[in-house]
Amino acid sequence: MTEFVTSFFSFRFGNVCSSRARARARRREPFMPRSDTYLQVKEAAEFLGVSSNTIRNWGREDKLPEYRHPLNNYRLYRRRDLERLRRTLSMPKRVGHTGQRKS
């Protein structure tokens, strides 16, 4: 991965980029999330059938775990978390059910 960062900088900036900037980029080089396990805001909204703002609000209110892409800081949501939330959203609510039969 360090070769990628170095080659990216040399491609993008030529030799203008200092060795200090390349070293900083290498230090910030965390894991790259797999694209099939994480969804962006729009994809998560389509997956759950809600608006993008609803997804952002649920992330802000900690109703939905929110992750950030290490390079561009985009919001990311794990597919497993979205599937769990979709199951809870699709469960019918039992209001006023006492278990007794009507006569």
Helix or strand holding residue 67 (H, E): strand 67-68
Count up the domains in the chain and report the number.
2
User: Which token pair is 70?
Assistant: 């290490």
pLDDT of residue 66: 93
Assign residue 53 the CATH number of its domain.
Answer: 1.10.1660.10
**46 located within any domain:** yes
Amino acid at 50: V
Q: Is residue 98 part of a domain?
A: no
Please give the Cα distance from 89 to 87 (Å, whole number).
Answer: 5
Blockwise average pLDDT, block size 10, the chain, 103 residues? 50 48 51 75 95 96 92 94 90 64 58
Residue 15: what pLDDT?
46
Strand order of the β-sheet with 75-78 is: 38-39, 75-78, 67-68
For residue 67, the cross-strand partners are: 76
State residue 64's pLDDT score.
94
- Is 9 within 8 Å of 22 (Cβ atoms)? yes
